[in-house]
Amino acid sequence: MSEVEGTELVQVCVGSSVNSAYIDLAIVGAVLDGKTVHPAIDLTVTPGSRQTLQTLELSGVFGQLVHAGARMLEPICGPCIGVGQAPSARKPSLRTFNRNFPGRSGTEDDRIYLCSPATAAASALTGQITDPRSLGRCPPILARPEEPPIDDRGILAPAPAAQAAAIEVVRGASIVEPPRGTVPGETLAGEILIVVPDNISTGDMAPDGALGMSVWSDISRCATFMFRRLDRSFHDRALQAGGGFIVAGHNYGQGSSREHAALSAVYLGIRAVIAKSFARIHRRNLVLNGLLPLVFTQEDDYERLRQGERLQISGVRETIESGGDELSASAGQGAPIALGLHLLARERELVLAGGLLQSLRASPPRLNDVLDRFDN
């Protein structure tokens, strides 16, 4: 806090998918109660759900926030994913969100700081990053009603099984069936299409903001933005090469759990991703779409691989079927590179089928049974 305290701000955003429960927003309301947001600050508040918004209204917190000058937004991702409230370039914005990747806000050259609801409230009053303890003791927080309202009119109940098959799902031209995964052969061969560093996020693979919302339902369009922040030629090179491999550092796929990042790789013909380590949810998404998440047995081998080199991995299908965990890759004239294939039994089945959807099409059991089996 001391390193950035005093930084002048133009925007403070509270809420979205985290720090948006009643108590979080009630803290902000208590700090702002009877005061006015600094004139240089645009303060927005995004409740975590419709029920939270109704509870704020019943308790009086809604009035505290609005009377102080906050703008109340509907319960959606909103500013957290760059849909609205994109800050001015190089102008600091303070947010109570849990993710902070370049350009995620909707502004390519953003200056985003993450904080707690209390810090956000104090800073909204002063116009600069402020330690809330400097304002003294926290004022009383309005109590939540004992029985918050439950209004689920916006949720449609599943149709009875006998009627479900007859329901027509209307899709516009921009809603396109996702690409299908392919069944791995005994040998995977292709070009190393890109080598990326540590901490590549799903936002680097599938776009954020209003742009993302406009292309997410058409993976062929979404894929044109894969790695665009790092290499604008990636999409065209991948198509021209007929697919290949991605090589990555640690924590590949951190950030939002968007499946579009894995689906874009499928569309571009990626055979496998070879990384030092994977973010858990993205690794799962790769497997669900039939892609192999391989790890370097010796991390130093990452330095040996170069974009444009031809890579070949042998014994793939046999290793998957036999339950083996070790593969060997060759690139150029160097020594073989040892790779780890650490898959659960169900994950092996999904990869061999070309992904979860392919598995369901081949043998359509109840979806809940499939997911329960995968989790176990």
CB 178 within 8 A of CB 263: yes
pLDDT tens-digit readout, 225-248: 999 989 999 999 999 999 999 999
Looking at residue 191, what is its pLDDT?
96
Residue 15, pLDDT above cutoff 90? yes
Q: Which pLDDT belongs to residue 366?
A: 56
What is the mean pLDDT of the segment spanning 202-217? 85
Q: 188: Cβ–Cβ under 8 A, 6 or more apart, which residues?
A: 245, 271, 272, 292, 312, 313, 316
Sign of torsion over alpha carbons 357, 360, 365, 371: negative
User: In the chain, what are the domains?
Assistant: 11-135 (3.30.499.10), 188-375 (3.20.19.10)
- Whether 373 shows a pLDDT value over 60: the answer reads no
Q: What is the mean pLDDT of residues 330-344?
A: 91
pLDDT band at 372 (very low <50, low <70, confident <90, very high): low
pTM: 0.82
**Long-range Cβ pairs for the range 174-177 (8 Å, 24+):** 174/214, 174/217, 174/218, 175/217, 175/218, 176/217, 176/218, 176/219, 176/220
For the stretch 268-279, pLDDT in tens is: 999 999 999 999
